[in-house]
Each structure stands twice: as C-alpha cells, then as structure tokens.
Amino acid sequence: MKKMRFTALLLVSALCASVLGGCSQSKEAPKASEAKTEAAAQGTGETSGEVKMQKLITSHHTSAHGLPSYIALKKGWFEDAGLDVELMIYTAGGPQMEALATDAWEIGTSGTPGAVIGMLNYGVKVIGMSIFDNPLNKIYARPDSDLVKAGKGNNETSGEIYGTADDWKGKEYLLTKGTTQEMVLQSTLKTMGLTTDDVKITNLDTAASFSAFKSGNGDAVSQWVTFCLQAEKEGWIPVTSADAVGMDISNLIFATDGIIKERPDVVQTWLDIYLKACYWMKDNPEEAAQYFYDYCQEYGMNSTQEDCRNLIELTTGAPTIEEQKAWFTKDADGKSKLQKNLIGDLMTFFVDQSIYSQEEKDKVISDECYDPQFITNAVAE
C-alpha cells in the first residue's frame, strides 16, 4: 500500500505542475498491436512520394517533453518520413504505464519516476533523454525571510544557495514527500551538514503547498514547473534549486520491448525526428511557445501564452546526441552515467524512503532496461 500511495501522490503532483494548471484524460486510440495489424493489412497507404506509411502510437503528457512530438506532427515531419503517428496524452506516468497492459502504445516520454514504473513492470527500455527539468524545481522563501536576508555566498558547495546552516535549521518546509522536491531539500541540507531531521517537513501536493504558503503557512515551499512561474509572480525568492545542488532531473525517452524487436527501423526514424524537434525548439523559442500554447489548448489544458513563453525560456532543452552518447557510455564498472547517476541516485533516494526495494533498484539500473543502439545511430539534422 505504501508504494501505491506514493505513486499516486507523486504522479498526480507532477502532472498538475506540468500541465499548466489543469489535468487531462488520456485520448483514446487503438491498441498498438491493432494499429500494426491494420497498417500491415492495408499494405499500407502510400503518399504521393510512394512512401509506405507505418502506424505508430506514441504516449506523452502535455508538458515540454511531449511538445517535440506535437511540433513534428504539425510540421509534417513524421508524415514525410512515412510515419502515421498518433499521440496518446496521459495525465501522468502511472496511467501512461498502466495502459501498456492493453498494448496501448509503443514509444513515449515521461519523467524519470514514470519511466521507472515502466521499466519495473512493463518491459519498457530507455532509448534516450528528453528535456531537463533542473531549472523548474526550486524552494522559495518570502522576501522578508532570514534565509533571503542572509543572501548568497555563505555556502562552500554552491554560491546559489541562500543562508547558512543556522538559517535553514528548524524551519518548516512545505513540499511533496517522496519526490524530487524532497531530494532538492535533502541535497541542500547536506551541503551544510544538516539532514531532514534538523527541519520540519509538511507533506502537501504542489498545488496545496502553493496555497498554504500563500496563506502564510510554512517558512519555505518547494515548487516545480508552472508553479515556479506563479511563485515568482508572487515575489517569492528561490533560495535553492536542483541546479544549485547540481542535481540532474531529466525526462526520458523509452520504447516497449515489442517495437524494439519487431520494428527497430520505426523506432530509429521516430527518435531522429523527435530529437530534431527538441533542438528546433531551442533554436526557435517564440514559435515553440506558440506551439506549446496550441498543444495545451488542443488537449484541454488551462494555459496562457505568457506561461508558455516563460516555460520555453526556462527549459534547458534535451542533451545533444553526443552528450546523450556520453550519458549512455559505460565506465570501468560496467555502468553508464545514466544508470549510476541520473536513475541510480533517484532510486537510492526511493530505497531510503522505503518506496522501492534494493532489488527493484538493481533491476532498474541493470542493462536490461536500456537500449543505447538508437542514440548511437541517431541523426537529428
């Protein structure tokens, strides 16, 4: 039960932050196996360029990591490459992965916790890295807080962290336990020789913690994605962040074992186009922001064009192909940086919180959950 409660809390909280203030229902689509059968039976339909179209069901959220697929779809890049792509939009990683029980999709993106569920239970393999969320995970204090008044420059580990150990100790922090929000707080306290035993944590989902802090509760509040934008509109000051403590928070690209084995060419083509859209977003922020707004409107999300512009500006983008190859490269211990650090560190935190077991961590960082061949062969020009 503990694990189920955590999953619901984590994923719903992440959703409400990532969808610009709203929650969606997944769009219905045929099962991936049915789509493949239909495509094969049709022979399949051909474009004017005599390119055989291959049906592909993808899964995303209404967030920055889902936007590249939307852009590529609207620009016709998938169609030009012979892919008939349909987007399945899910409320969060949990429902997204559970849909694999009915073979609902073949390729997708989500935050790392969602990918972990897929790797543990549904044979999902990580094939790449998407948008990083480091700049969108922060802890805020009010301008009159002694944390803020102490200023930066007191921390030997990071010059971006406000205050001293005495300023942080004993304060009440509003956040969602068992998430990267708590990881940021733990990492910040560690730089000052403190632990969570030295502070008070009040466990609230992101929307509730925002409202509670705005009402005067707590000394600091952890926020992410669009709630960061709202926090800064309130004039709250970010006293630490994932970036400040050097913590990488990446969304991941994954595929089912079935499509990897049966249609690796489709996986490669889709990944090349998806990454092309990721890099296009970084080079064309204004147009990307408009696509983001359109994406949210089409899938029933509450958003403003200003928020979409701000999120695009804050997004660091996906790692380059060469950077991703480095993340997938194994060291002398036989593990990659992706396995050991990005996912391994997160799983260590989950094990410490009794959310997952050591055996589950071992499985998630094992080679069976990764397939680097597609990044190795990627071309996104």
pLDDT at residue 209 tops 90: yes
Tokens of 12: 């719903």
Mean pLDDT of 303-314: 87
Residue 69: CB partners within 8 Å, gap ≥ 6?
A: 58, 60, 85, 87, 109, 274, 277
Query: Which CATH architecture describes the domain 135-241?
Result: 3-Layer(aba) Sandwich (3.40)
Query: Torsion angle of alpha carbons 345, 351, 354, 360, nearest 10°?
Result: 120
Strand ordering across the sheet containing 250-256: 83-89, 54-60, 107-111, 250-256, 124-132
Class of domain 2-133+250-376: alpha beta
Mean pLDDT of 349-362: 93
Position 96, amino acid = Q
Mean pLDDT of 155-176: 95
Mean pLDDT of the chain: 86
Q: In this predicted structure, what is the pLDDT of residue 224?
A: 82
Where residue 152 falls among pLDDT bands split at 50, 70, 90?
very high
pLDDT for 63-103, tens place per residue? 889 999 999 999 999 999 999 999 999 878 889 999 999 99
pLDDT for 9-50, tens place per residue? 333 334 344 434 433 344 444 455 454 444 444 434 444 455
pLDDT for 232-267, tens place per residue? 889 999 999 999 998 888 899 999 999 999 999 999
Q: In this predicted structure, what is the pLDDT of residue 49?
A: 52
| pTM > 0.85 | no
CA distance 157 to 161: 9
Domain ranges of the chain: 2-133+250-376, 135-241
CA distance 84 to 57: 8
